[in-house]
Structure 1
Amino acid sequence: MSIANIVHPEACGSAELPGRERQEQTTVWAYAIIDNGVDDLAADLTWMTGVGGAPVRVAACSGLSMLVSDVSETQFGEAALRRNLENLDWLDEVARAHHHVIDAAARLFPLLPTRLATVYSSDAAACAALDERRAMLRGALRRVDGRVEWGVKAYAVPESETAAPRHARDGFAAGRDAASPDEDGAQATRGGTGLAYLRRRRAQLAAGRESRVAAVDAARTLHGALAGQADGARLHPPQSPQLSGVRLPMLLNAAYLVPADGAADFNAAVAARAAAHPELRIEVTGPWPPYSFVGDDDDGC
């Protein structure tokens, strides 16, 4: 799972649930927003443990519910999270547990995943956050019902790695450069080796610019075609090589909302575009729960 969109937690409310006794200071870790109509199905997840090994439960609100766990404030409160999020080993373990709950639940009913490290002081605070955006969240739940997310990334492939470099297709070759000796052997009068180098270098730079422009156009075409086939699309900022693990420039980082039974058609469309655009290296991931389609503003709080 990619962790590029992790946000630091923000308390979305502070009211305490009346009558709820807390033996220790705890906070509520949120996994996903669900409709109240699936509470019975969600109750079957009580066997599952989530972040920190805590059992998963349902926090029922008015019209919507949330999958949550009670976790120690010492480890998962706001101050502790600010510190622990700097620990990559801790972060990886927590991210896996968070995704495990969401992935398992998404196989049973529609849900809207919350961002990693979304915490509330209590069930009442979580419900207050849901109440503020109830209409939008209900609409988003209807939109993702029966659909999954596919991720597509496209990178610019250097011209030297494509099947036919542009300068070769255009007939440019060292043997035809002005530096090549003519029939009289008058290389010096044709500009000499220095001028030949400059001409080759200029041609290489021009070919590189053309290659980059072609790759950008291809990525734009790819996104348009896939968005037209999907029920929703989101563009994310390109990732740095440190995050993506790929040294090539990332030109497209997108998510597409696709019917759960439409995986074959969607992947066939990606494959067809990849074959038509050797200037791109295309990666597909999924299917995922609809992480990118929580709301119009992609806000998962």
Structure 2
Amino acid sequence: MNGTLAYVYAVARDLPALAASVADLPGVSGGPVRLVRAEPGDDVAALVSDVTAADFAEEPLKRHMEDLDWLETVARAHHGVVEAAAQGTTVLPLRLATVYLDDDRVRAMLAAHRRAFADRLDRLARHTEWGVKLYVEAPAREEQQPAAAAGTGRDYLRMRRAQRGSREDAYRAAQGAAARVEEAARGHAVDRVRHRPQQGTLARGPGENIVNDAYLVPQREAEAFREDVTRAVAAQGVRVEITGPWVPYSFAAPPSEEPRQAPDGTTGP
């Protein structure tokens, strides 16, 4: 399959600092990133680079989506462009592998959504995303303990009751910590997105992830947000992980769409 497609990374305020941020920046396929506007003089632009149709047309893209190494390479390049652009202006990230036939189609997309993009960029200006995860570091499940370790049958039942009680105490402590964290975070954040708790390889470190939230925080409130959320946990067996600041991936999608993940897996990136 021959030809190229226009890969769109994000929509951003077209300020002088934006052009400087992406100058000589390589895109997903190594080519330069350029700015595309609906019309000359528009203050909103798309960040675009050329990619091959052989990789990003519909059918080959479906195959590539099953190749984790390929996806990781594309994701790193995609987020690199978004993060670089965010150094100079407010950025509205688009989904990974958002492609159009050519720049004219990109211009048509920008023109059709000009007001929506401008409103959302206004909302995100001078704000960053912070991820907050809570983990329960509960004792190992009782069924994982060998029965022989308990001695008699009565000892075994006593051990199981004690283990269940410990787990219940840990989850009650976690519920209280989650409520305190939410209250503390809302004292600084202007919005929140709840994401599914992470499991398997996505869950980092010990414990079970029970809260995986993203908060949109004014830049001036960032340090106070971190301090108050950390202080709000204060529960034995509960661990908090705060990540950021991120480009506000979780808050970029229109309300009718599923929020995207930040690079750290916060559902961030």
Q: Aligned match of 1:43 in 19, 40, 48? A: 19
Percent of aligned pairs with the same residue? 39
Tell me the alpha carbon deviations over residues 25-70 of structure 1, each in whole angstroms, 9 at most, x when there is no partner.
Answer: 111111111234x2x4333323111111011001101553211111
Please list, as runs of the form range in 1=range in 2, the aligned pairs for 1:1-301 lying within 5 A after superposition: 25-36=3-14, 38=15, 40-44=16-20, 45-61=22-38, 64-159=44-139, 193-246=152-205, 248-274=207-233, 276-294=234-252, 295-297=254-256
Give the length in aligned residue pairs.
244
**Contact 1:156-1:250 at 8 Å conserved across structures:** yes
The alignment partner of 2:29 has SS state of helix
Tell me the alpha carbon deviations over residues 73-130 of structure 1, each in whole angstroms, 9 at most, x when there is no partner.
Answer: 1122222222122222222221111111111110100110112111122223333434
The alignment partner of 1:51 has SS state of coil
The alignment partner of 2:10 has SS state of strand
**Contact 1:34-1:110 at 8 Å conserved across structures:** yes
How far did residue 255 of structure 1 move?
1.2
Unaligned runs of 5+ in 1: 1-23, 161-191
The alignment partner of 1:47 has SS state of coil
* RMSD (Å) for aligned C-alpha atoms: 2.5
- Give the letter for the 2:72 counterpart: D
Q: Distance between the aligned counterparts of 1:129 and 1:299, measured in 2?
A: 20
Q: TM-score, normalised by structure 2?
A: 0.81
**Contact 2:5-2:100 at 8 Å conserved across structures:** yes
Q: Distance between the aligned counterparts of 1:56 and 1:254, measured in 2?
A: 32
Compared CA separation, residues 159 and 228, structure 1 to 2 (3 A): farther
The one of the two structures with greater contact order (alpha-carbon pairs below 8 A, sep at least 6) is 1
**Contact 2:139-2:163 at 8 Å conserved across structures:** no
How far did residue 247 of structure 1 move?
5.2
The alignment partner of 2:232 has SS state of helix
**Contact 2:9-2:82 at 8 Å conserved across structures:** yes
Q: Distance between the aligned counterparts of 1:57 and 1:289, measured in 2?
A: 20
The alignment partner of 2:122 has SS state of helix
Q: Distance between the aligned counterparts of 2:109 and 2:181, measured in 1?
A: 37
Q: Distance between the aligned counterparts of 1:210 and 1:47, measured in 2?
A: 55
**Contact 1:102-1:113 at 8 Å conserved across structures:** yes
Q: Distance between the aligned counterparts of 2:194 and 2:222, measured in 1?
A: 20
**Contact 2:136-2:171 at 8 Å conserved across structures:** yes
How far did residue 273 of structure 1 move?
2.0
Show the counterpart of 1:181.
none
Unaligned runs of 5+ in 2: 141-150, 261-269
**Contact 2:31-2:49 at 8 Å conserved across structures:** yes
